[in-house]
Amino acid sequence: MIKIGPVRRRGLLVAGVMFAGAGLATGLRPSRLMSDTLGVPRLEDVFPVAFGGWRVDTSLPVILPAPDVQAQLDKLYNEVLARTYVNADGVRVMLSVAYGGDQSDATSAHRPEVCYPAQGFAITENFADTVRVAGRDIPVRRLMSHIGGRHEPITYWIVVGDRIVTTGIGQKLAQMRFGLRNIIADGLLMRVSTIDADMAHGHLVQSAFLAELGSALDDRIAARVLGACPESAAGSGHAC
């Protein structure tokens, strides 16, 4: 017969709380991959090679990332697309899209203000902005970077599940919002950049490029690239 004194009774209570915590953690773990239900988008196919005034620039040699960078990319993303588009005036815009099916901790999309400096770039400007794409304002992050004499303005956003995020915390919160509903969110990083010492001009070119690109995407993929309509805008009759 085991004697249960007050100390042991407290022990049972404490152990109960701890075992419950362990059970809760297992139970709350999301198990359904969003990418399994929606499918992994074939980035090569869903982004048109020519739209509006832009077409893929085939005159430039494709620059492959260094092997160590490539290894890191393969680990983080299921699909990566890197293209350079050019318009009739010879303006070039680099588009880079990365898709990852599992946005849980170790494999979530890397924000450019983190990975550009890792490649030796210095980030001199970093601010929030919006770009009008397909009839609505997409919240984006604008950066200015340079390495040596190469100046590269950048515009980017990240979609976690169906939400656009532009901060690290936002990314984590969006991932948790899905996670607590048993869904492992997927993520998509959209980044455009130009070589331009004039930051404002570069960002303007990028906005124009994104507006044309957005209207050239088909609806299904647009929802994943631009995020779902925010609830407030959905009822207001906007083209969304």
Partner 1 sequence: MSKLSEPVGPAAQARRLPILPAGTDVMLLGLMLAAFAAMYGPSYVMLAQKIWPTDEQGHGPIILGVALYLLFGKRHALAALPSRPDKPMGFALLIIGVTLYALGRSQFILFFEVFSQIFVLAALVLLFSGRQGLRLVWFPLFFLLFMVPLPGSLVASVTGPLKSAVSAVAANLLHHLGYPVGRAGVLLSVGPYQLLVADACAGLNSMFTLEALGLLYMNLMNYTHAVRNVVLALLIIPIAFAANIVRVIILVLVTYHFGDEAGQGFIHGFAGMVLFMVGLVLMLFTDRLLGLFFRGHNQRGSATTGSAS
For partner 1, the binding residues (CB under 8 A) are 2, 7-8, 10-12, 14-15, 17-22, 24-30, 104-106, 111, 114, 117-122, 147-148, 168-169, 172, 175-176, 179-180
Residue 85 CB, shortest distance to partner 1, in Å, is 27
Residue 173 CB, shortest distance to partner 1, in Å, is 10
Of 21 and 230, nearer to partner 1 (C-beta) is 21
> Is residue 138 within a helix (H) or strand (E), and if so which, with residue range?
strand 136-147
Of 53 and 170, nearer to partner 1 (C-beta) is 170
Of 93 and 174, nearer to partner 1 (C-beta) is 174
Instruction: Locate 20 and state its tokens.
Output: 């419950």
Evaluate the CA torsion angle 175, 181, 183, 188 in order and state its sign.
negative
Residue bearing tokens 């020519």? 50
Residue 117 CB, shortest distance to partner 1, in Å, is 5
Task: Provide CB contacts within 8 A for 39, sequence distance 6+.
Answer: none
Identify the bridge partners of residue 99 per DSSP, sorted by sequence position.
79, 188
Of 8 and 238, nearer to partner 1 (C-beta) is 8
Of 133 and 174, nearer to partner 1 (C-beta) is 174
Instruction: Locate 235 and state its tokens.
Output: 């009822």
Of 50 and 173, nearer to partner 1 (C-beta) is 173
Coarse DSSP helix, strand, coil percentages of the chain, rounded to the nearest 5 percent: 40, 30, 30
- Measured distance CA(68)–CA(63) in Å, rounded: 14
Residue 27 CB, shortest distance to partner 1, in Å, is 8
Residue 145 CB, shortest distance to partner 1, in Å, is 9
CB 53 within 8 A of CB 88: yes
Of 53 and 139, nearer to partner 1 (C-beta) is 139
Characterize the bridge pairing of strands 79-86 and 92-100.
Answer: antiparallel
Instruction: Give the single-character DSSP code of 229.
Output: P
C-alpha angle with apex 97: 180 to 237, nearest 5 degrees? 65
Residue 19 CB, shortest distance to partner 1, in Å, is 6
Residue 156 CB, shortest distance to partner 1, in Å, is 15
